Amino acid sequence: MTTRYRTVAAGAILVTLGVGTAGCGRYSIGSLKGQKAYKDANELYKASDWKDAAAKYEYVLQQDASRKEVYFFLANSYDNAYKPSRAGEPENDALISKAIENYQKSAELDLNPDMKKLAMQYLVAAYGPDKLNDPTKAEPIVQEMIKLAPSDAGNYFALAKIYEDAGRYDEAEQALLKALDANPNDVTVYVQMSGFYNRQGDFEKTMESLHKAADIKPDDPQGHQLVATYYWEKAQKDHLLNNVKKKDYILKGIEASDRALELNPDYIEALTYKNILLRMQGNIETDMAVRTRLYKEADDLRNKAMDLGKKKTSGT
């Protein structure tokens, strides 16, 4: 699992942040023109008409430079108009440059803390691997975000991803550990750590993190099933395991699925994975009677999962 700041639907930003078109006491001719243009720009933005929206937001600022909230939407319009596949083309590259310039202005000038945060997140994304791929520019922005919100785990995740992408694995781990220090009971921190350790090939630390995540919310069947899924993956895909170790992982996976099913007997994913794990156990079982019993139990679980799936599809 990886974490980068990601874009969201254009209209959702306007709705979430409550951006309106009220005049806020502005009665000059320029302000009134800017107010109407702002409304028009927002409609273009919601319609994903990025270049026209950018032009209209530019006009808004020309009429009323006090509208600091416009800088983010101007930046995001340029950002969305930019095409990474056309990097190197002057006209296209100018779009991401304008996006960065206006994200910076939004972060510096907008008095709304939510807008400041959003502008900094998108600024980091602009320097990310999908666009300009310049982690040296992204890192100090995330560091500043951590200073502004030291308990926000997402900022530590973003910093860890920058370090991991750059091969700075020790620093990536330290960033995640700092996230844990700031949020010791946050399940998402442990899940992020498990993903990092899994990518590093450290299975024991991966599972330690997943078990801790499940322990924080013992009544959530998904946490236990996630543990089972990782044991299944290890037993299934690591061909260097001997049968003793493979069986150990299989049994631990079954145990985790059992915990999930105790909480939700109709949990289709848990039924499916326990079915697979039982078959894997049967495949390495030398006692034929035990193997037959394991296969029978697996068949029953598979059939139950299929029946539940059919009912869910039909809405019954």
pLDDT digits (tens, 9 = 90+) for 223-277: 999 999 999 999 999 999 999 999 999 999 999 999 999 999 999 999 999 999 9
Query: What are the domain boundaries of the chain?
Result: 1-133, 217-316
Give percent of the chain above pLDDT 90. Answer: 85
Residue 157 confidence (pLDDT) above 70: yes
38-63: pLDDT as tens digits: 999 999 999 999 999 999 999 999 99
33 band by pLDDT with thresholds 50, 70 and 90: confident
pLDDT band at 23 (very low <50, low <70, confident <90, very high): very low
User: What is the pLDDT at residue 289?
Assistant: 97
The predicted structure's pLDDT at residue 25: 47
Q: How confident is the model at residue 6 (pLDDT cuts 50, 70, 90)?
A: very low
Q: How far is CA 302 from CA 28, 275, 278, in A?
A: 71, 6, 11
* Fold adopted by 217-316: 1.25.40
pLDDT at 9 over 80: no
Q: What is the SS3 assignment for the chain?
A: CCCCCCCCCHHHHHHHCCCCCCCCCCCCHHHHHHHHHHHHHHHHHHCCCHHHHHHHHHHHHHHCCCCCCHHHHHHHHHHHHCCHHHCCCHHHHHHHHHHHHHHHHHHHHCCCHHHHHHHHHHHHHHCCCCCCCCHHHHHHHHHHHHHHCCCCHHHHHHHHHHHHHCCCHHHHHHHHHHHHHHCCCCHHHHHHHHHHHHHCCCHHHHHHHHHHHHHHCCCCHHHHHHHHHHHHHHHHHCCCCCHHHHHHHHHHHHHHHHHHHHHCCCCHHHHHHHHHHHHHHHHHCCCHHHHHHHHHHHHHHHHHHHHHHHHHHHCC
32 falls in which pLDDT band (50, 70, 90)?
confident
CA 102: distance to chain centroid?
25
What are the structure tokens assigned to 180, written together?
A: 């844990």
Token pair listed for 143:
């560091």
Could you report the per-residue pLDDT of 99-108, keeping only the tens digit for each? 999 999 999 9
How much is the pLDDT for 13?
64
Least confident of 30-34, 141-145, 212-216, 301-305: 30-34
Q: For a pLDDT cut of 70, what percent of the chain falls above it?
A: 90
Report how far residue 38's alpha carbon sits from residue 32's, in angstroms, rounded to the nearest whole number: 10
Q: Which pTM was predicted? A: 0.81
- Which token pair is 148? 């502004």
Spell 98-136 as b/e; 16+ CB within 10 A means b: bbbebbbbbbeebebeebbbbbbbbbbbbbbeebbeebe
- CATH code: domain 1-133 is 1.25.40.10
> Per-residue pLDDT for 68 more than 60?
yes
pLDDT in tens, 170-209: 999 999 999 999 999 999 999 999 999 999 999 999 999 9
CB neighbours of 42 closer than 8 A, spacing ≥ 6? 14, 19, 21, 73
Q: What is the pLDDT of residues 118-130, one digit of tens each?
A: 999 999 999 998 9
Question: At which residue do the structure tokens 């202005």 appear?
Answer: 105
pLDDT tens-digit profile of 72-119? 999 999 999 999 999 999 999 999 999 999 999 999 999 999 999 999
